[in-house]
Structure 1
């Protein structure tokens, strides 16, 4: 798959709520995932670790109220999407999150993801 095809497939699967399937199908084994500086999962390396991070996030969610992902913007080996979600976290209350995700594709697989969002102050 080329970058556009990977981007379209990721968006499709995310819109269907199949985020784990997206990781299994589209991510390279050596994926590198970056969250904002100072967050607990600032750097995650490897597909299994990214799956673990995703499952940990799901375990923290008490209720999912809604969300969206934009159509991808593709340039060369990169694409980005805006992602918004509204969730209630266990013991932490309801929170809305808005982020920009930037992905890099090589040989038909996502090799890097970087999430940009405001980190709530404690």
Structure 2
């Protein structure tokens, strides 16, 4: 798949709430995922660990009030998305967050992702 095809498929699956399927189908086995410095999951390596990180986040959510995912902006081997979410978390209450998500694609698979947002 091209970078554009990977980006479009990721957006479609995530908008349908199929995050696990997106990771399984689109991520490389050796993917590296980065969150902001100082966060609990600053660096996650490997598809299984990324799936577990996603599951852990899903389990922390009590209710999602709204969530949007932009269309991708695609360069040759990278694409980015804007993700906005308003959710109530079991431990932290209701929070709104807007983040930039950047992905790197190699050989038709996502090999890296990085999320930019302000914590706190």
TM range (shorter): over 0.9
TM-superposed deviation, 1:92 = 1.6
Q: Tell me which residue corresponds to 2:61.
A: 61
Q: Tell me which residue corresponds to 1:3.
A: 3
Q: Tell me which residue corresponds to 2:103.
A: 103
Once residues 91 and 104 of structure 2 are traced to their aligned partners in structure 1, the CA distance between those partners, rounded to angstroms, is 35
TM-superposed deviation, 1:64 = 1.0
Q: Tell me which residue corresponds to 1:90.
A: 90
Q: Tell me which residue corresponds to 1:80.
A: 80
Task: In structure 1, list runs of 5 or more residues that go unmatched.
Answer: none
Partner deviation per Cα, 1:15-40 (whole Å, 9 max, x = no partner)? 11111110011000000000000000
Q: Tell me which residue corresponds to 2:17.
A: 17
Q: Tell me which residue corresponds to 2:28.
A: 28
TM-superposed deviation, 1:66 = 1.3
Partner deviation per Cα, 1:70-92 (whole Å, 9 max, x = no partner)? 00000010000000011100032
Once residues 92 and 34 of structure 2 are traced to their aligned partners in structure 1, the CA distance between those partners, rounded to angstroms, is 23
Task: In structure 2, list runs of 5 or more residues that go unmatched.
Answer: none
Measured on the aligned residues, the alpha-carbon RMSD in Å equals: 0.5
Q: Tell me the TM-score normalised to structure 1 length.
A: 0.97
Partner deviation per Cα, 1:31-55 (whole Å, 9 max, x = no partner)? 0000000000000000000001000
Q: Tell me the TM-score normalised to structure 2 length.
A: 0.98
| Secondary structure, counterpart of 1:6 in structure 2 | helix
Once residues 33 and 82 of structure 1 are traced to their aligned partners in structure 2, the CA distance between those partners, rounded to angstroms, is 16
